[in-house]
Structure 1
Amino acid sequence: MSVTGGGPPAPRGARRRRWAAALVAAVCAAGLLAASPAAADRPGPVPGAEADASGWVGSWGTAPAPAAPDGISRDGLDDRTVRMVVHTSIGGGELRLRLSHAYGTGPLTLGRTTVALPVPGSPAAVVPGSAREVTFDGGATGTTVPAGSEAVSDPVAFDVPAGADLTVSVHLPEPTGPTTWHWLAQQRGHVSEPGDHTGDQAGSVFTRTETSWFFLTGVDVRGADARGTRPRGAVVAIGDSQTDGVGSTPDGNGRWTDALARRLAADPATAGMGVLNKGIGGNRVLRDGTETDRPQRGTRALGRLDRDAIAQAGVRTVVLYEGVNDLQLAPYATADDVLQGLRTMAQRLRERGIRVLVGTLTPFKDSPFWTADAERARAELNTALRTAPEFDAVVDFDAAVRDPADPQRVRAAYDSGDHIHLNDAGYRALAEAVPTAGLTATTGRAPTTDRRLP
């Protein structure tokens, strides 16, 4: 396991002492500095995307966020197994899992963990014989993750299919406290009755359904997949509920990032490019969710950029598609405020050799949050983004889905029904708007730091 984040708490027992000593030695040897969530927006030395020599590239990802004020995320889990389904963008011959305890209040105990193929139509059940055990720390069944940190598993030999579902089951043997989670998964997951059920093939013991991911934030792959395609790099999408896929078909992988992954896989020029979705419903460029009544909206994009983009495996390009919540939710930001925030993120990415695409904001007239002032700010921001020199390319999402007869509205054929979020067809239109030329390139600036993991 590799751990990044805040320092470990006081060890409990000999194994914890050995683990803590090994961690300190490893971090000192690597010379890594990791920011806490509160300080993550401050410039400084941060882990970068992994060098090509490491071989790891992100295939699936989501962005962690704090627990909600109430419910399962706030109550936490105790001696339960969570079974979660994720959808890969690229395949490989090996995988490793990333599990985040970024917003924890104490050490997190991870028990037995498995990865398997789900039974189609029954996501709580797994294909017999497909499960593989996931280990940590060079072969341990489980591990302890300090608050504010991330655990990365040992490599697992697994024929990872591209564009397919995987089932990850994690036993949480001790009280977790408030969970680090992703609240709007658009994908059903399941929580078991008490006990370690990571090896269960049937899904009968998984009696609670949740449309959230708990602790799990990434699946990286390396090596050729069954078709001989090798990972080439990753595109990371930083955004809000539009990127999270709100309005798309649940369990249908209808987010625009899913559609983009399918588009890249179908083109030999871009096959092997992973797509990581780091959208969070309600997220803003400039304001944290903890500053509102919904902490699950996550750390502002400026504050989570290092963790959710720069530190992802094999990142080559980042798409910044965010800002509408800054304009439509109180306290309101100006178009210039948001523009400056996006420019700051672009500068930080380009300094690390990462290409930056910026998306224009799509229409939302007739939604409950639309106002004439917010519309004017959206139009002002979009005009500035279309000519801003700080970005390598502009993705005109606005032009892709607006109604030609009323450009302040989304086309009826793309409207999920709430007049702001899109349906599957609308998200496909966003994916088609992304310019794919040069996605595997870098800006030619300083290369990203090699944060090589086992």
Structure 2
Amino acid sequence: MSGGNGGSTGKAVRRRVVLGGVAAMCAALLSPTTASAGSAGSGENTPGWTGTWGTAPAPAAPDGISREGFEDRTLRMVAHTSVGGDSLRLRFSHAYGTTPLTLGRTTVALSQPGSPASAVPGSLREVTFDGGAKGTTVAAGTEKHSDPLGFDVPAGSDLLVSVHLPRATGPVTWHWLAHQHTYLSGPGDHAAEDGAESFTSTETSWFFLTGVDVRGSEARGTIVALGDSQTDGGGSTVDGNGRWTDAFARRLADTPATRGTGVLNKGLGGNRVLRDGQETDRPQRGTSALGRFERDVLGQSGVRGAVLYEGINDLQLEPFATADEVVAGLRTIAARLRAEGVPVVVGTLTPFKGSPLWTPEAERARVAVNERLRSPDASADFDAVADFDAAVRDPADPERVRAGFDSGDHIHLNDDGYRAVAGAVPLEPFSGAPVTASERRHP
């Protein structure tokens, strides 16, 4: 990341350029015919599915494992469920791939407590594709669901998803900051092994896997959180499920009016409302929120609500955006979601004084964004406001995160801070009757 500010004249020019881009994007994205890149192949419309786990796909980094890809390796990934069911299907994304992706043997199991890369004995099941095949090919720029599989999925549990990649994948579609270990084998197909012995190295990223859907009598639909590293869980305990979305899922489960509601985390480190990561030297920051919300929110299963919590990177990363531009982008996303019948809660931006990228100008812009989101006029654009800023700021110095909530970098929160964020989300827009099969218009 670059923290340089540039001269005031340069900033004004950049802001005019960004504003023009916002206007163009808003006009295009408000059209109901707009389709997001990489959404091909997600058009299955099997009713009754609810998202229990999800992550946001992004392009490979300029170098490293995501750029190199895999060949004849088995990946074992952990997906922490938010809601249970009696059957599941997996979603794999090749949205940013350049050549066809071959998925070999794929399995799902329950993770064994105390040995997270090992399957609970007797729980491992093979997953099929395309009506019974033990593998599949995913075209570049698309995604694919597995076949439905009868599987008892407990809420709040860790699933192990193992996939053998028999052929060279090329640069991968991945999620770079998982805050969760993924286990990599040496050469060969080890997807059907209960034990962890073959998985000799780890990464803290997810690769290709972007969703787990469930069906069951208790599933009520899902809420999607669209955001940046604050939603992604930056600063939370690795393998600890300490993201605010994890705490939010537990809160929903403990509340009768929302029990059975899934939560999908579509946060992405470094993501911005207005600009793509592909425009920078860090493409893994992903497509802008404006560019990906169709895929990452409306393209998910059983969507009954959304939380938008994004904008701080637009204010602290060059080229800088203004508060007006950020709010305009959030309004555009909310308008499109609400047109589809999806209630939208918007989150205020939390403090970050002490972070290397903090500047007085960025602070003024953050305060301005929050003032606009809290204003009575915002009720015309959003169903509710979650005042995350008020929940975590230091009362003695409101430009800073409260010390007990600070992960140490003065912008990302620790597990306690994320629990405070989860507690600040109003539940009223997401309460009421469960989503019915006929209401689940999206795959």
Q: Same fold (TM over 0.5)?
A: yes
Q: Distance in 2 between matches of 1:294 and 1:448?
A: 38
SS of structure 2 residue aligned to 1:117: strand
Q: Does 1:231 align with 2:210?
A: no
Contact 2:58–2:286 under 8 Å retained in 1: yes
Question: 1:67-82 counterparts in 2 under 5 A?
Answer: 67-82=60-75
Q: Which runs of 5+ in 1 are unaligned?
A: 1-38, 225-229
Picking from 237, 253, 258, the partner of 1:270 is: 258
SS of structure 2 residue aligned to 1:54: coil
The CA deviation at 1:42 is: 7.2
Q: Does 1:308 align with 2:308?
A: no
Q: Distance in 1 between matches of 2:152 and 2:120?
A: 14
Q: Does 1:210 align with 2:203?
A: yes
Q: Distance in 2 between matches of 1:295 and 1:264?
A: 34
The CA deviation at 1:438 is: 2.9
State the match for 1:8 in structure 2: none
The CA deviation at 1:44 is: 3.3
Picking from 386, 396, 413, the partner of 1:405 is: 396
Among the aligned pairs, what percent are the same residue? 69
Picking from 367, 370, 373, the partner of 1:382 is: 370
The CA deviation at 1:41 is: 4.9
Q: Does 1:431 align with 2:419?
A: no
Contact 1:353–1:448 under 8 Å retained in 2: no
State the match for 1:219 in structure 2: 212
State the match for 2:120 in structure 1: 127
Picking from 326, 344, 368, the partner of 2:314 is: 326
Q: Does 1:337 align with 2:325?
A: yes
Q: Distance in 2 between matches of 1:352 and 1:303?
A: 17
Question: 1:30-109 counterparts in 2 under 5 A?
Answer: 41=29, 43-45=31-33, 54-109=47-102
Greater mean alpha carbon deviation, residues 241-250 or residues 125-134 = 125-134
Contact 2:257–2:432 under 8 Å retained in 1: no
Contact 2:50–2:222 under 8 Å retained in 1: yes
Contact 1:50–1:450 under 8 Å retained in 2: no
State the match for 1:285 in structure 2: 273
Q: Does 1:136 align with 2:124?
A: no
Q: Distance in 2 between matches of 1:40 and 1:154?
A: 34
Residue type of the alignment partner of 1:277? N
State the match for 2:6 in structure 1: none
The CA deviation at 1:40 is: 9.2
Contact 1:232–1:440 under 8 Å retained in 2: no
Q: Distance in 2 between matches of 1:409 and 1:343?
A: 27
The CA deviation at 1:207 is: 1.1
Residue type of the alignment partner of 1:245? G
Residue type of the alignment partner of 2:271? N
SS of structure 2 residue aligned to 1:338: helix
SS of structure 1 residue aligned to 2:372: helix
Residue type of the alignment partner of 1:367? S
State the match for 1:10 in structure 2: none
State the match for 2:13 in structure 1: none
State the match for 1:27 in structure 2: none
Q: Distance in 2 between matches of 1:405 and 1:236?
A: 33
SS of structure 1 residue aligned to 2:297: helix
Contact 1:85–1:187 under 8 Å retained in 2: yes
The CA deviation at 1:122 is: 1.9
Contact 1:249–1:423 under 8 Å retained in 2: yes
Residue type of the alignment partner of 1:234? T
SS of structure 2 residue aligned to 1:302: helix
> CA RMSD for the aligned pairs?
2.1
Residue type of the alignment partner of 1:424? D
SS of structure 2 residue aligned to 1:93: strand
**Cα 1:406–1:334 shift into 2, 3 Å:** same
State the match for 1:298 in structure 2: 286
Contact 1:50–1:312 under 8 Å retained in 2: no
CA deviation profile, 1:74-119 (whole Å, cap 9, x unmatched): 0000010000001000000000000000000010001010000112
TM-score by length of 1: 0.86
Q: Distance in 1 between matches of 2:309 and 2:178?
A: 18
**Cα 1:196–1:50 shift into 2, 3 Å:** closer
State the match for 1:176 in structure 2: 169
CA deviation profile, 1:377-415 (whole Å, cap 9, x unmatched): 000000001121200000000000000011000000000
Residue type of the alignment partner of 1:425? D
SS of structure 1 residue aligned to 2:199: coil
Contact 1:233–1:440 under 8 Å retained in 2: no
Question: 1:148-187 counterparts in 2 under 5 A?
Answer: 148-187=141-180
Contact 2:302–2:440 under 8 Å retained in 1: no
**Cα 1:379–1:451 shift into 2, 3 Å:** closer
Residue type of the alignment partner of 1:154? D
SS of structure 1 residue aligned to 2:428: coil
The CA deviation at 1:53 is: 8.0
Contact 2:52–2:262 under 8 Å retained in 1: yes
SS of structure 1 residue aligned to 2:137: strand
Picking from 377, 383, 393, the partner of 2:384 is: 393
TM-score by length of 2: 0.88
Contact 2:302–2:442 under 8 Å retained in 1: no
SS of structure 2 residue aligned to 1:207: strand
SS of structure 1 residue aligned to 2:156: coil
Contact 1:41–1:304 under 8 Å retained in 2: no
Picking from 189, 202, 205, the partner of 1:196 is: 189
Q: Does 1:372 align with 2:360?
A: yes
CA deviation profile, 1:227-283 (whole Å, cap 9, x unmatched): xxx100111000000000010000000000000000110111111000000000000
The CA deviation at 1:43 is: 3.1
State the match for 2:347 in structure 1: 359
Q: Distance in 1 between matches of 2:292 and 2:298?
A: 9
State the match for 2:334 in structure 1: 346
**Cα 1:123–1:449 shift into 2, 3 Å:** closer
